[in-house]
Amino acid sequence: MKNFNQSVWQVTKKIPKGKVATYAMLARKIGKPKSARAVGNALNKNPFAPIVPCHRVIRSDGSIGGFASGTNKKIKLLKKEGILIRGTKVLSLEKFLVRL
DNA sequence: GTCGTGACTAGCC
DNA sequence: CGGCTAGCCACGA
């Protein structure tokens, strides 16, 4: 852990399949609860696309947020893992949220 | 060192 | 429920 970005990727990488985490949550985990925005930036530029499950990271209100390859793609992936989604938002968020 | 930008958030209307 | 605002942070030019 050296750069902020690396920390983000390392934590994101640990999110189990079928679960999701929020930007704020990850920010808190790395010791910077106010850096949710910066976390989003890190994921957007993440060079470990296939290694880091960036599609399992969503907003605190349950919105999908965004995705480098397209929001639609992100939704599809999450649904595939068992996450229930309606439009651009996650249903039963608390049920899929992984506690860090 | 300063400025613009963005996968954020909480609060208010 | 939806939209707007101000506050936050890290990065690259």
**Which nucleotide is the nearest neighbour of A3, by CA and C1'?**
C10
For A32-56, the pLDDT digits (tens) are 999 999 999 999 999 999 999 999 9
Exposure string of A42-76, with b = 16+ CB inside 10 Å and e = fewer, is bbeebeeeeebbbbbbbbeebebbebeeeeeebbe
Q: What is the mean pLDDT of chain A?
A: 95
User: Is A54 tagged catalytic?
Assistant: yes
What pLDDT does residue A1 have?
60
Q: Which nucleotides of C are covered by protein (CB under 7 A)?
A: 7-11
Say if CB A30 and CB A93 are below 8 A apart: no
**Catalytic position from the list A54, A78, A83, A90:** A54
d(CA A33, CA A39): 10
Report, in angstroms and rounded to the nearest whole number, the Rg of chain A calculated over CA atoms.
12
What pLDDT does residue A75 have?
95
What pLDDT does residue A54 have?
96
Residue A2 has pLDDT above 90, yes or no: no
**Which nucleotide is the nearest neighbour of A87, by CA and C1'?**
C1
Look up the pTM and report it. Answer: 0.94
